[in-house]
Structure 1
């Protein structure tokens, strides 16, 4: 009978250790240089540069010849904006421009924005985060309105908070 009690105790301790390691692993994946997206289509992760100053947001991905697959740029505004619009002036790479609200929920996507095009691509009202990735990836992955983004920059309103 003593061995059953010991076995049960060992199993509970082992389970607690595994849960602790899993929680640490999940928390460790929420980093400044990565975003995670999830929706009914599944999940995806991108390595990102964060543009969170006026100067870095103004420059964005302009003047670059390529963007590695699995990479992107996350634009972070200090609060939801009255109106956000991007354009492709001096941008050489076709991009998907993903506009999100203060909770990190996708509201709109400008698919395959055309390099050098100066046409404004509006994201709408209440946009606080914008993710740029290689053109065509959003559709191929299934990213659409309602998709949730997780990143440390998203505050207490996060639909998918960092833990």
Structure 2
């Protein structure tokens, strides 16, 4: 069987088609941020979350858009280094969220509870923040999370 055989060309064609298909699937796959652990220290105890950390413009822009569910104990942490005034919205977001606006030292500045899915109303931070944690709506109330509570994650420092 030489390089000019019909079998050789058929195999090359199959390999090229497979490579093209894999390339299309890779492009269609959702962009997911890195997953890390985060703790919130409240009067009722320490609550641990697994969070995706959105550090790039692309990750922050997409956020939790188009997702149909977010399990309890999971969320997305937006990194807005350096600290700045931010506004969030719920465009293309199908699930209600609690948004925790967090100062650079890890102190929760403000909480927007049960934000309205698909709303384009802006939700301001109320001052400069380093990050925003989005968790499933109702989490803050359920766990007793309040402004002034502390978030432990490498993003925040005691400086």
State whether TM-score is above 0.5: yes
CA RMSD of aligned residues (A): 1.1
CA distance in 1, matches of 2:100, 2:81: 17
Q: Which residue pairs with 1:116 in the alignment? A: 118
Matches within 5 A, 1:131-142: 131-142=133-144
How much does 1:74 deviate? 0.5
CA distance in 2, matches of 1:39, 1:143: 6
Q: Which residue pairs with 1:96 in the alignment? A: 98
Structure 1 residue runs of 4 or more that deviate by more than 6 Å after TM superposition: none
How much does 1:153 deviate? 1.9
1:35 correspondence with 2:5: no
Q: Which residue pairs with 1:152 in the alignment? A: 154
CA distance in 2, matches of 1:155, 1:146: 15
Specify the SS of the correspondent of 2:125. strand
How much does 1:156 deviate? 4.8
Gaps of 5+ in 1: 1-31, 158-163
TM-score, normalised via structure 1 length: 0.74
Q: Which residue pairs with 2:107 in the alignment? A: 105
1:72 aligned residue (75, 78, 86): 75
